[in-house]
């Protein structure tokens, strides 16, 4: 009986130790996210299993081109996935199918060829100036994406983290890189 109790006590210690390691990692550093919908196709498909890095943005701000998961501004209980296009202090204009970014000194058409096909344009006509804590996000599937064109800039406080890794499907296993502009 004493051996059995010692065995049970060892199991309990292992479970407690595992929880002390796994729970903080899961809730404060990385968390899983499953893509729902078509707004990020062809780069992220419905059902893709992603790992979200929650810690990077505690030390730095999001960069243009990063794919982020955030609390949907109209319903914070929902999580959305989009690509950061506009940064705080910039003016974003969508005109003639192109995304134009101005920072006060210069304007440039955003070169998105690393993640969008060349025949894809961005529908809409909008001009938005971003405040110090706002980001402009778009889905990669511009025709089927509800994004900053519809509900406005994304507040920094709503960003949960950046997409770091795609785990599923295994054929698409990859670390998610930020495009060069």
Annotation says 77 is catalytic: no
Residue position matching structure tokens 């698409």: 172
Separation CA 138–CA 132 (nearest Å): 19
Annotation says 71 is catalytic: no
Dihedral of CA 45/56/69/142: which sign? negative
The active-site residue, picked from 82, 107, 118, 144, is: 82
Of the candidates 163, 165, 164, 167, which has an alpha carbon nearest to the alpha carbon of residue 79?
163
Q: Is 19 left (phi over 0), alpha (psi -120 to 50) or beta?
A: alpha
Cβ neighbourhood burial of 94 (10 Å; 0-12, 13-18, 19+): buried
**Annotated active-site positions, please?**
39, 82
């Amino acid at each position: 009986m004493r051996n059995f109790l010692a065995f049970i006590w060892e199991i309990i210690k292992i479970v407690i130790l595992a929880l002390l390691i796994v729970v903080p990692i899961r809730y404060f550093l990385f968390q899983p996210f499953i893509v729902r919908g078509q707004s990020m196709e062809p780069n992220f498909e419905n059902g893709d299993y992603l790992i979200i890095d929650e810690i990077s943005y505690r030390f730095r701000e999001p960069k243009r081109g990063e794919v982020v998961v955030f609390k949907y501004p109209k319903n914070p209980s929902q999580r959305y996935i989009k690509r950061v296009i506009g940064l705080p202090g910039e003016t974003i204009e969508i005109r003639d199918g192109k995304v134009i970014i101005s920072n006060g000194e210069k304007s440039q058409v955003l070169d998105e060829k690393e993640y969008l096909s060349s025949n894809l344009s961005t529908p809409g006509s909008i001009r938005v100036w971003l405040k110090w804590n706002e980001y402009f996000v778009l889905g990669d599937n511009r025709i089927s994406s509800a994004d900053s064109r519809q509900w406005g800039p994304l507040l920094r406080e709503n960003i949960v983290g950046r997409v770091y890794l795609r785990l599923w499907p295994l054929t698409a296993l990859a670390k998610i890189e930020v495009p060069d502009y």
